Amino acid sequence: MKRRNLFATAAAAGLALAPLGAMAQAYPTKPITVIVPFAAGGPTDALARVLTARMSEALGQTMIVENLGGAGGTIGVNKAAKATPDGYTVLFTHMGTLAVNIALYKTLPYDSQKDLEPIGLGGTNPMVLVTKKDLPAKNFQEFLAYVKANQKKAQYGMAGIGAASHLGGLMLNNMMKVDVLEIPYKGTGPALNDLVSGQFDYMVDQAVNVLPQIQGGNIKALGVSTLKRLPQLPDVPTIDEAGLKGYEVTIWNGFFVPKNTPKDVITKLNQALVAALSDEKTRARLIEQAVDLPTAKEATPEALRDQLKASIDKWVPAIKAAGVQPQ
């Protein structure tokens, strides 16, 4: 996908970047809470913080990130879905908590399509298969052989059922035909700390979280989840080319508000998001971390609604076809 700054077109048309002060309502008159349903220091948290820093400026009010991890993000999403729909509680989450987990839980406390209103896409991130530094495998083939031979003791980390890291690990293990113990965390921020200190063997996590530790030599990268190699990791093969044909997982993240939030509030939040996504400094920072930023067309509430539906349509049958039972 092209990553040029297409927001210039919207700005020229005077649409999405119209001054927020021109809106009729006074919103926002107080700080806005942004629920991130994973622990601080992980990829969802990192993206939320970069984007909301710039969105706060556009809105003229602070956006305060509240990390509410646990149960694969479902606790935080549920709190946001049930919040007062006044624009002062916003959710920033990824497709795992809204689409993937429909196939992984027998019951969910929310309906991601009925209980939430989309604001806009925040960015899509590739994933990377990373291992602890001293795992005896130099490349993907050796990793595969190691995990197959050590299924009783191998452990992989993830951020709970339905998290992005769960989807990445689940599909990987399924295609490798291995049954490995999973170690759940409240987010892959804390999981990454434990991988660096060698407390479990591997994880599939978003590039934005793991790149600094790979580049620092504290963990090993053995494969990327996209069908093309990442410019940040040119020597790391795709998992598809390394042997698991068809393995492809990327994770989109987006902003949502509870159902029945007034339309003008949704418009203002979307305008603030567009302002953040058109800010050169913000863009540069995210692109450097392999985040694929939406174009102006992809950053609308409608596009996010479609994206959510497309992800449900893709992943729910794919997980069922992989033989994974809901819990």
Which member of 56, 131, 165, 300 binds ligand ASP (CB under 6 A)?
Answer: 165
- How many helices (H) and strands (E) are present in the chain, helices listed first? 12, 9
Q: Are 183 and 155 in contact (CB under 8 A)?
A: yes
Residue with tokens 């174009």: 295
Which is nearest to 260 in space by CA: 117, 121, 93, 118? 117
The pair of structure tokens assigned to 118 is 């989309």
What is the CB neighbour count within 10 angstroms for residue 75?
18
Please report whether residue 140 would count as binding ligand ASP according to CB under 6 A.
no
Q: Are 208 and 41 in contact (CB under 8 A)?
A: no
What minimum distance in Å lies between the beta carbon of 92 and ligand ASP?
A: 10
Please report whether residue 122 would count as binding ligand ASP according to CB under 6 A.
no
Which member of 103, 129, 159, 277 binds ligand ASP (CB under 6 A)?
Answer: 159
What is the CB neighbour count within 10 angstroms for residue 279?
19
Which member of 98, 163, 236, 286 binds ligand ASP (CB under 6 A)?
Answer: 163
Please report whether residue 189 would count as binding ligand ASP according to CB under 6 A.
yes
Total residues binding ligand ASP (CB under 6 A): 17
Give per-residue burial for 170-179: e unless 16+ CB within 10 Å, then b.
bbbbbbbebe
C-beta closer to ligand ASP: residue 68 or 266: 68
What minimum distance in Å lies between the beta carbon of 45 and ligand ASP?
A: 6
Residues near 308 by beta carbon (within 8 Å), at least 6 away in sequence: 95, 98, 99, 112, 113, 118, 254
Longest dimension (CA), the chain: 65
Tell me the residue length of the chain. Answer: 327
C-beta closer to ligand ASP: residue 290 or 296: 290
C-beta closer to ligand ASP: residue 58 or 203: 203
Stretch that binds ligand ASP, among 50-58, 185-193, 242-250, 279-287 (CB under 6 A): 185-193
C-beta closer to ligand ASP: residue 8 or 322: 322
Please report whether residue 42 would count as binding ligand ASP according to CB under 6 A.
yes
Please report whether residue 255 would count as binding ligand ASP according to CB under 6 A.
no
Convert residues 212-251 into a mask of x (bound to ligand ASP by CB under 6 A) and - (unbound): ----------------------------------------
Q: Are 125 and 230 in contact (CB under 8 A)?
A: no
Which is nearest to 47 in space by CA: 263, 249, 242, 292? 292
In the bound state, the residue with its beta carbon closest to ligand ASP is 42
Stretch that binds ligand ASP, among 102-110, 145-153, 184-192, 275-283 (CB under 6 A): 184-192
C-beta closer to ligand ASP: residue 43 or 85: 43
Q: Which amino acid is at 39?
A: A
Please report whether residue 93 would count as binding ligand ASP according to CB under 6 A.
no
Residues that bind ligand ASP (CB under 6 A): 38-39, 42-45, 94, 96, 159, 163-165, 187-189, 205-206
